A and B are shown apart, each in its own frame.
Chain A
Amino acid sequence: EDQVTQSPEALRLQEGESSSLNCSYTVSGLRGLFWYRQDPGKGPEFLFTLYSAGEEKEKERLKATLTKKESFLHITAPKPEDSATYLCAVQAANAGNMLTFGGGTRLMVKP
């Protein structure tokens, strides 16, 4: 069974305090790993797709990395507007059209 576990469940940072969010996964053949941002009362917003171990993607203060067992979302010098829930999802080779989502990490950045 495909599984995605995100940690921590919640993370409080001071503005400018860099940190990382973790997404551990167990799948039989990874087709892709996805990071989303979700603001309260809104739908998930697509951030990144990673396809193979060693791959990295960057967008502003966010950098996503991938190994064979986990992915990290590194947040450099965060600002209060980075506060949101970050979701990780995987597409397994035998899952057809379906994504498996983790429970998310709620990030709060204080000024």
Chain B
Amino acid sequence: NAGVTQTPKFQVLKTGQSMTLQCAQDMNHNSMYWYRQDPGMGLRLIYYSASEGTTDKGEVPNGYNVSRLNKREFSLRLESAAPSQTSVYFCASRWDRGYEQYFGPGTRLTVT
């Protein structure tokens, strides 16, 4: 039981490049989330998916797109990376019968 996994762990992009961050969970959770964590800003929600086939914007969705590929996988795409998107990105999932979320190990992204 791996929990929530994320790939890659580290990534460096140049301004304007695109990339997709991958997330998968093996806990049979319906809800999945993408956060970014910046010094002094805490964890901020980018997008979430309450169930397979649905996605909703969070607090800071601009510049990102998401895809809920199936119940296990939820990807985050940066179409044209900007230096302001330099951050640590966390994926999380939640079981329907509780409100606590379980986090992956994170992806550290640097945009130059």
Contacts and interface: CB of A to CB of B under 8 A. Distances in A.
A79 interface: no
23 contacts: A32-B99, A32-B100, A42-B106, A43-B90, A43-B92, A44-B43, A44-B103, A46-B102, A49-B99, A49-B100, A87-B43, A89-B43, A96-B50, A97-B33, A97-B48, A97-B56, A97-B94, A98-B45, A98-B48, A101-B42, A103-B40, A103-B41, A104-B42
Q: Helix, strand, loop or mixed for chain B's interface? A: strand
Given A31-B99, A43-B106, A49-B100, A103 B42 contact: yes
B49 to A, nearest CB: 9
A41 B106 CA distance: 8
B53 interface: no
A97 B31 contact: yes
Interface of B: 4, 31, 33, 40-45, 48, 50, 56, 58-59, 90, 92, 94, 98-106
Contacts of B101: 34, 46, 99
Nearest to B59: A98
Q: Helix, strand, loop or mixed for chain A's interface? A: strand
Contacts of A43: 4, 90, 92, 103-106
A104 B44 CA distance: 13
A97 B56 CA distance: 10
B58 A98 contact: yes
A45 B99 contact: no
Given A97-B94, A98-B45, A46 B100 contact: yes
